[in-house]
Amino acid sequence: MSEHSSSRAVDGQATRVAYLVNQYPKVSHSFIRREILAVERQGIAIERFALRGWDEPVVDPQDVSERAKTRYVLQGGLIALLAATAHAALTAPGRFARALWLATRLGLRSDRPLPVHWIYLAEACVLARWLRQAQVSHLHAHFGTNPAEVAMLAGVLSGLPYSFTAHGSEETDKPQFIGLPEKIRRAAFVVAVSSYGRAQLYRWSRLEDWPKIHVVHCGLERGFYEAVTVQPVEASRLVCVGRLCQEKGQLLLLRALRYLRDEGLDCELVLAGDGEMRAAIEHEVDRLGLRGQVCITGWISSERVREEILAARALVLPSFAEGLPVVLMEAMALGRPVISTYVAGIPELVVEDECGWLSPAGDLERLVESIKECLRASPRRLEAMGAIARERAVLRHDIDTEAARLTVHFRASGRVQQVSS
């Protein structure tokens, strides 16, 4: 963009930021919805785009509302992808050739077949056209995997700057296979959700790119915790909120419950969530004889999540791999101590013995000991830990504070201005 056109973007009428997510709305990604709404409160107009999710079940009323505001790249099917690709190739052949070469180069180094990256290019062609129609001036993707690649390719096709938020292990488990260094190099800026996450991005980027990698925490809306009267729970009840998957460690948690029961310490466990591991978890519950102690709720609304956390003595999340789990922030903001692991950004939030208990990931014995301490803690100690947890979570993870930080980076890209009131 020329200096003259860039000046118009800043001095003329308000411009827009587009968000791109793989699937939106999604029950386990409510933090993205909170961020979008908070950025809008900062005076930035947001266009919502997702690759899929128009027909997925959602239970939260806010998610229903967000879906009505979202355009879906894949909803038009193969014909729409081919038409957009042909249009891009014919109307801007130079940009299309550069995007095709970039997609091919990434595909040749990827663990996914090359045609998958050509599909990403076709998705980017659809998106780039929509961005121009919506007069968007900056594109932000959540997750450094395929959404960031589509955003990068759309940036090549449209000439718009892009950025992305990297959340954790999904990006850094295989950074070279997903082209993470290239995505960082080409981005206007990159967001990490913890200091640990920023360090991992440093590992896979050039030194000269470090200044554009920033920490912006995921945040909580004040309405989630402000009107809540916190009462300690004497019942031996724990809750684990999250997708039922290998990295969350629910299978290890079930083994810990069996050890506790064998020692005469029974407790109830609510697994609030759903996912690809549900059948395996249900099988393990039966194998260990825990059917009377464990309840699996499936996906539930934000309101129900809050109710489950408040009804529990503590939240437990024995993760093997993470970024920085939002549910830990939620539980702490509700005055509940947490039981988790020394993984990624978790120790940045959870202070051992002050607002929760931490154990090395995969250490069954230490996990059992942490749960024992929680079950044996007096109401007075739980209340004191919950108060510290609440103060820490609210201080570090207020969504409007974090959205203000993110908005600074959007505006610094040189394209975005505050929406006129």
Please report, rounded to a whole number, the percentage of residues in the chain having pLDDT higher than 70. Answer: 95
Sign of CA dihedral 47, 53, 55, 58: negative
In a domain, residue 146? The reply is yes
Selection from 313, 355, 322, 314 nearest residue 341 by Cα: 322
Residues 47 and 162 in one domain: yes
SS3 401: helix
With contact defined as beta carbons under 8 Å apart, do 100 and 377 qualify? no
Higher-pLDDT residue of 109 and 415 is 109
> Looking at the predicted structure, is the pLDDT value of residue 420 above 80?
no
> Looking at the predicted structure, is the pLDDT value of residue 12 above 80?
no
Selection from 376, 377, 378, 346 nearest residue 359 by Cα: 346
In a domain, residue 419? The reply is no
Give the ranges where 159-194 is alpha helix by DSSP (H): 169-172, 180-186
Q: The tokens of 117 are what?
A: 């990256």
> Looking at the predicted structure, is the pLDDT value of residue 10 above 80?
no
Residues 250 and 389 in one domain: yes
Cα distance from N-terminal residue to C-terminal residue, the chain = 27
Helix pair angle (93-109, 146-158), 10° resolution:
160
What pLDDT digit, counting tens, does each position of 105-130 carry? 999 999 999 999 999 999 999 999 99
pLDDT given at position 303: 87
Residue with tokens 């998958």: 116
Residue 168 pLDDT grade (very low, low, confident, very high; cuts 50, 70, 90):
confident
In a domain, residue 417? The reply is no
With contact defined as beta carbons under 8 Å apart, do 33 and 62 qualify? yes
Give residue 269's region: left, alpha or beta (phi > 0; psi -120 to 50): beta
In a domain, residue 166? The reply is yes
Residue 159 pLDDT grade (very low, low, confident, very high; cuts 50, 70, 90):
very high
What pLDDT digit, counting tens, does each position of 375-395 carry? 999 999 999 999 999 999 999
Sign of CA dihedral 377, 379, 381, 383: positive
Lowest mean pLDDT among 4-13, 202-211, 214-223, 263-272: 4-13
In a domain, residue 420? The reply is no
Q: The tokens of 55 are what?
A: 């027909």
Question: Exposed/middle/buried for 394, CB within 10 Å: 0-12, 13-18, 19+?
Answer: middle
Question: Exposed/middle/buried for 278, CB within 10 Å: 0-12, 13-18, 19+?
Answer: middle
What pLDDT digit, counting tens, does each position of 221-254 carry? 998 898 787 887 888 999 999 999 999 999 999 9
With contact defined as beta carbons under 8 Å apart, do 269 and 374 qualify? no
In a domain, residue 421? The reply is no
Residues 113 and 32 in one domain: yes
Question: Exposed/middle/buried for 207, CB within 10 Å: 0-12, 13-18, 19+?
Answer: exposed
SS3 28: helix
Higher-pLDDT residue of 236 and 1 is 236
Task: Identify whether 25 is preceded by a cis peptide bond (ω within 30 of 0).
Answer: yes
Residues 267 and 210 in one domain: no
Give the ranges where 266-343 is alpha helix by DSSP (H): 278-287, 302-310, 326-333
Backbone angles phi, psi at 289, to 5 degrees: 70, 35
Please report, rounded to a whole number, the percentage of residues in the chain having pLDDT higher than 90. Answer: 85
Radius of gyration for the chain, computed over Cα atoms and rounded to the nearest angstrom: 23
Higher-pLDDT residue of 319 and 299 is 319
Residues 212 and 231 in one domain: no
Q: How many domains does one find in the chain?
A: 2
The residue count of the chain comes to 421
Cα 346 to Cα 53: distance, rounded to the nearest angstrom = 29
Report DSSP letters for 236-287, one per residue. Answer: -EEEEES--SGGGTHHHHHHHHHHHHHTT---EEEEE---TTHHHHHHHHHH
Residue 7 pLDDT grade (very low, low, confident, very high; cuts 50, 70, 90):
very low
Residues 286 and 404 in one domain: no
Residues 242 and 313 in one domain: yes
Residue 100 pLDDT grade (very low, low, confident, very high; cuts 50, 70, 90):
very high
Higher-pLDDT residue of 15 and 366 is 366
Measured at the CA of 323, the angle between CA 301 and CA 54, to 5 degrees, comes to: 40
pLDDT given at position 15: 56
The gap from C-alpha 152 to its chain's centroid, in whole angstroms, comes to 19
Selection from 213, 212, 189, 200 nearest residue 322 by Cα: 200
Residues 30 and 128 in one domain: yes
pLDDT given at position 68: 96
In a domain, residue 332? The reply is yes
Residue 14 pLDDT grade (very low, low, confident, very high; cuts 50, 70, 90):
low
pLDDT given at position 88: 98
Cα 203 to Cα 16: distance, rounded to the nearest angstrom = 32
CATH for 268: 3.40.50.2000
> Looking at the predicted structure, is the pLDDT value of residue 2 above 90?
no
Give residue 53's region: left, alpha or beta (phi > 0; psi -120 to 50): left
Residues 178 and 253 in one domain: no
Which domain, by its residues, includes 112? 3-219+399-412
In a domain, residue 151? The reply is yes
pLDDT given at position 5: 37
Higher-pLDDT residue of 136 and 233 is 136
Measured at the CA of 124, the angle between CA 118 and CA 126, to 5 degrees, comes to: 115
Residues 238 and 104 in one domain: no
Cα 353 to Cα 339: distance, rounded to the nearest angstrom = 10
Residues 160 and 129 in one domain: yes
Residues 163 and 36 in one domain: yes
- Bridge-partner residues for 239, per DSSP? 270, 315
pLDDT given at position 414: 57
